[in-house]
Structure 1
């Protein structure tokens, strides 16, 4: 039996003859693309914007699913690194990122643009939503009342185990403390640290490497036992030294939406 959430989404999609979906490679937008392509009557285009702020794994995931399910996919350059407002990393950096993203998608799309924003996102500090509003981007999950739990339920129903297993994965730039300029080298370093940590701590869901004025921190859901803690600290300390960063330690993951008053929340 088709879940009621899926029926609501399909009914919403079918109001449109054609639309594009901004797909980051995370579970929210990937599930949106899966349902739209499988069940809606509309002509659907999937658009993924590559950028130093997006892990290579996300791009490969989008390509793999597009091939498997025969999606009409287009890969574009987000070009946010050409925007000094983004590079300067103010508190509302996400606004400039999304402004560039939706402008690029609009250049190659026909019809309305959809995002994977869900109900839970509305309770967080997300300046990118203002950019979406300015460019008339719509949020199907919000329109039909679906939160993060509902998205995971859809993934589970259709047996999309790979997507169901994905943790929340904001862009890599969200790991850089407000006011520290964004550069591609730092984002690549962040990705390396997080990938290495996943190999050593495969059961940890949320893993973040934070670049702060006090150095680079690793955040995980639960601190590992002492032997593994020391091993991980040594490995990451060496990686930081090789990349010219100060390793400032491992601490417990904090959830939220931005660096505010020196505290990381994404």
Structure 2
């Protein structure tokens, strides 16, 4: 872990100044912590707020920045003004990141970094294409750091509340590909997932908006751990879904990216 952190510091020290796009997840928060150690006041952190960003992520960014003295700028990336994004195509993330980095360039004229790590290169990530087009750098990738190493560095830096954060992609990722994204749906998703987390603890819980209705995904191990209260949670969930005037499509085990629907040739 110390070798990985040294590689990252060596990557960062070459920048005379740097902005980091800060989502509030473990990757960008850990990158921000190391970058601040290396660059100090030559660093700017930029966090974008929107209906797709969970309130907890924004609160986390603000709390850490205030407590640790990080230089933080809050922006609205404006992706919800982009019809291409709202239409939720297969490459929705491309339009999201294009809007984000375009907005970031309006407030910063130096190098810009993302929190992408080595593991991200193996996934379908249209946002990385947008980053490439906007000349965004990826210090964690350049330092050959994967998610496991990121978590180890976060623990070493005593970012304990960050180190064990579950994967938390934007709320728009809960909406099935091809269904139009709107702020009302995302607020509903956030309320349901927050209830699940309050009742079952942190973990990979998802509220999916699909053409068939609302689908709830919870890992089997979490359901088994809370088997004594799972039935009551289900009753409450289904009541909340009905009260919001929505159809309930059932329960499933958590599956990463299950709202992402594409046909051969889409990618």
State TM-score, norm by structure 1. Answer: 0.93
| Range moving further from structure 2, 219-228 or 97-106 | 219-228
Match of residue 254 from structure 1: 255
Q: How does 1:189-200 map to 2 (within 5 A)?
A: 189-200=188-199
1:211 aligns with 2:209: yes
The gaps in structure 1 that reach 5 residues or longer are none
1:15 aligned residue: 14
After superposition, give the CA deviation of every residue in 1:31-55 in whole Å (9 maximum; x if it has no partner): 0000100133671000000000001
Offset at 1:229?
2.8
Equivalent residues of 2:217, 2:254 under 8 A apart: yes
The CA deviation string for residues 186-242 of structure 1, in whole angstroms up to 9 with x for no partner, is 00000000000011111x521111100111111111162555332121111111112
Q: CA RMSD of the aligned region, Å?
A: 1.6
Could you say what secondary structure the match of 2:135 adopts? coil
User: Residue 209 of structure 1 aligns to a residue in which SS?
Assistant: strand
Partners of 2:258 and 2:28 in 1: how far apart? 18
Asked if 1:237 is matched to 2:235, the reply is no
Tell me: CA distance 1:5–1:236, structure 2 relative to 1, closer, same or farther (3 Å): same
8 Å Cα contact 1:95-1:131 kept in structure 2: yes
Q: Is the 8 A contact 2:5 2:153 kept in 1?
A: yes
Equivalenced residue count is 260
Cα distance in structure 1, aligned partners of 2:196 and 2:143: 37
Conserved in 2, the CA contact under 8 Å of 1:10 and 1:40? no
Structure 2, unpaired ranges of 5+: none
- Paired with 2:260 and 2:22, the residues of 1 have a C-alpha distance of 25
**2-structure distance, mates of 1:156, 1:41:** 21
Alpha carbons 2:175, 2:259 under 8 Å: kept: no
What is the 5 A alignment of 1:32-181? 32-40=31-39, 43-181=42-180
Show CA shifts across 1:141-192 (max 9, x none): 1111000000011011122110012111000000000111000000000000
Post-superposition, which runs of at least 4 consecutive aligned residues in structure 1 deviate over 6 A?
Answer: none
Task: Measure, in 1, the Cα distance between the counterparts of 2:40 and 2:259.
Answer: 38
